[in-house]
Structure formats: structure tokens, C-alpha cells
Amino acid sequence: MELIQQLVNGISLGSIYALIALGYTMVYGIVKLINFAHGDVFMVGAFIGFYSITILHLGFFPSLLISMVVCALFGVIIERIAYKPLRNATRIAALITAIGVSLFIEYGTIYLRGAQPEAYPSNLVPLKDLDVFGVKISGQSILILGTSIVLMILLQFIVHKTKIGKAMRAVSHDMDAARLMGINVNNTISATFAIGSALAGAAGVIFGMYYTKIEPLMGIIPGLKAFVAAVLGGIGIIPGAMTGGLLLGVIEALVSAAGYSLWRDGVAFVVLILILIFRPAGLFGKNIREKV
């Protein structure tokens, strides 16, 4: 019974990693850039949600939507200012810029509001725990998982059924050919950053509700773990990011259940090393032709 409880916890945590990992994988699929500032967009989303709840006195879902909208705009601003001028630069230049943007957001936040942590209100959404065959499942875990699944389904719909989604897939496949076909590549890349950042903002609010405590450097470890999840599933492949995030959450929960909770952060990076040694293309590999 304890094992099932841990699996539920792992899937809830994994769904948060999956939401962040989707931003990494979408951006990489289109511009071949590892956006290391993505974890800090997640942090900004958590604070936007917190201030929406405590200052504007909004509920969980309105705060979630506000955080997604603000983070989407923030993602577009980052792309236009920091990454667009480096579109044809070397990979290492873009990577160093991404790390610089990450540090700028972290310490800019500390400068503006201080380094002190904040705590999300408890019982944000009054939910009853469920008892399934003797296993107690928290209503919070179900809400987190349900919200994450809805957002992932929405993303799949956008990517496969909308005009911007088709443009994203075309740019991912061949940017020059897409430009020749009349697709506005710059707007498509900005839309990709907007969608990925909106998902990170949602993950920030969900994370705040799940763990309560938020602070300006909170994006570092979840951001790195989400990157591991994206690599685990196959970076550039959307179903891979979802699967990788869920798998990583379950692995962490099982490690904690086995009594090695101090190792739960380290195990993500052991997974990264193993996947890079034995299957560098990720679980979904290169067999899936359709990226982003």
C-alpha cells in the first residue's frame, strides 16, 4: 500500500517535471538551443501565482492562468532580447547567453524582492482525500495530476491541430524550407517560447501548491531535473518529455520510499549519465520522425 502511495506521489511530482521539460524540448526542437533560463521562468511563475493569491486574493485556477499569461510574455521578451540576435551564432555563444539570462533573472529577483522565501497558503483548494482499496490518495495529488494532464492534452492539440502548431513542426523539420513556404519563422519561434514558458509558469504555481515554500533560487534544481527528463525521453520530442518527466518523478519517489531520500536529487543525474552512455538519443530515440 505504501508503494502505491509513493507511486501516486511520484506521478504527481513527475507531471511537474514534465511540464517544465516540455519547454526545454520544444525550444530545442526548433532552434537547437538548451534554454537554461527556463527553470527561472518556472520560478517567476511560482511568484506570480503567489502574489495573485495573496495580494489579488484570487483562487488557484485564476492565479494559474495569470501566471501562464505573464510567463508567456516573459518568455517572448527573453527570446527577442537575448536569443534572437544569436540565431546564427555558435551553439556555445547561445548556451553561455542562456546561463547568463538565468543568473540575471535569479539575482534580479533577489534585488527586487529580497532572498527571503515565501509560503503558499495551505488548503488553497479544499479537497478531500480519496480512499482507493485502502490506499489514501491526497486530493492535492489528483488536482496536480489532472491539471498537468489537461495542459499536456492542450499542448498536443495546439501542436497537431492548429495553424501555429503546423508552423512549429515545419520550422522544426527545416527552418529554411519553412521560410521559403511563407512561414514567419521569427513569430513561430516566439510562439514556441511563449507556449513553453506558459507551461513552466503553470508548473511553478503547481509546485508552490505542492511544496508550499518558494524562493528566488528554486528554479535551479527542478530546472536541471526537467532537463534530465527531456534528455531521458529524447530531447526535441514532445511525448518523450512527458514520459521522461513522469518516469523521473516515479524513480525519485521510489528512491525516497526505499529510505534513500537524501539521494533523491542525485539519482536524477545518475539517470542522465546512464542515458547518455547507453541511449544518447533518449527513450523515444530517433525513430519518431515528428519532432515538436
Q: How confident is the model at residue 133 (pLDDT cuts 50, 70, 90)?
A: low
Residue 92 lies in a domain: yes
Q: What is the pLDDT of residues 77-127, one digit of tens each?
A: 999 999 999 988 888 999 999 999 999 999 999 999 989 999 998 877 777
Q: How confident is the model at residue 290 (pLDDT cuts 50, 70, 90)?
A: very low
pLDDT at site 154? 93
Residues 60-67, mean pLDDT to the nearest whole number:
94
Residues 172-198, mean pLDDT to the nearest whole number:
93
Residue 287 lies in a domain: no
Q: The domain spanning residue 254 has which CATH number? A: 1.10.3470
> Does position 289 have pLDDT exceeding 90, yes or no?
no
Range of the domain at 14: 1-121+134-278
Residue 284 lies in a domain: no
Q: Sign of the C-alpha dihedral, residues 164, 166, 172, 176?
A: negative
| Total domains present in the chain | 1
Closest Cα to residue 52, out of 42, 64, 36?
Answer: 64
pLDDT at site 291? 47
pLDDT at site 166? 93
Q: Do residues 39 and 220 touch, judged by C-beta distance below 8 A?
A: yes
Residue 111 lies in a domain: yes
Residue 212 lies in a domain: yes
Residue 129 lies in a domain: no
Q: What is the pLDDT of residues 140-177, one digit of tens each?
A: 888 888 999 999 999 999 999 999 999 999 998 888 99
Q: How confident is the model at residue 5 (pLDDT cuts 50, 70, 90)?
A: confident
Residue 2 lies in a domain: yes
Residues 49-64, mean pLDDT to the nearest whole number:
92
pLDDT at site 226? 93
Q: How confident is the model at residue 47 (pLDDT cuts 50, 70, 90)?
A: very high
pTM, rounded to two decimals: 0.90
